[in-house]
Amino acid sequence: MATISIIMGSKSDLPSLKGAFDVLKDFGISCEAHIISAHRTPDAAADFAKNAESKGIKVIICAAGMAAHLAGVIAAHTTLPVIGIPMASAPFNGMDALLAMVQMPPGIPVATVTAGSAGAKNAALLAISILALSDESLNAKLKAFRKAQTEKVLADDAALQAEINA
């Protein structure tokens, strides 16, 4: 059963979200995904958010660009944690979507991550951190991921030192 739902405002957002799907797959987390627009399919957005908790969804990730109201609209209809990924689309390279997501009025939070594909990866990792609070084995995997990441940077630095000091 899917515990994470990835919602995107348009099919055009999908390529930027590959990192989120990859991270969730690497951690063995089942997810579902839907194209739902706050503006073009407003009723579907509300219906999805209202029913997500009863379907077993624990965290909702929302990606949208331009006047990116999707994460906020979803958050307005559920108390599940909502993570927003601003899509880095033209002409403002995601600044518009970033502000639309991060500047939620008090009372309805959206945890907004980095814009674009880096944000997609971080959204998945943040969702995993939330699930890991009540899942020891997932928590261990997350800690192992962090350790491996640290070790890679240290190894990269060691290789750099060896190269420039050769």
Binding footprint of ligand RP5 on the chain (CB under 6 A):
9-10, 12-13, 37, 64-66, 87, 89
Residue number with CB closer to ligand RP5 (87 or 125): 87
DSSP-assigned letter for residue 111: E
Cα–Cα dist 67/73, whole Å: 12
**Residue 51 C-beta: closest distance to ligand RP5, Å:** 21
**Residue 63 C-beta: closest distance to ligand RP5, Å:** 6
Cα–Cα dist 56/58, whole Å: 6
Q: Which helix (H) or strand (E) holds 8?
A: strand 4-8
Residue number with CB closer to ligand RP5 (65 or 72): 65
Residues 52, 16, 135, CA angle at the centre, nearest 5°?
45
Residue number with CB closer to ligand RP5 (101 or 128): 101
Residue number with CB closer to ligand RP5 (65 or 131): 65
CA 35 to chain centre: 15
**Residue 25 C-beta: closest distance to ligand RP5, Å:** 23
**Is the Cβ–Cβ distance between 100 and 34 less than 8 Å?**
no
**Residue 74 C-beta: closest distance to ligand RP5, Å:** 12
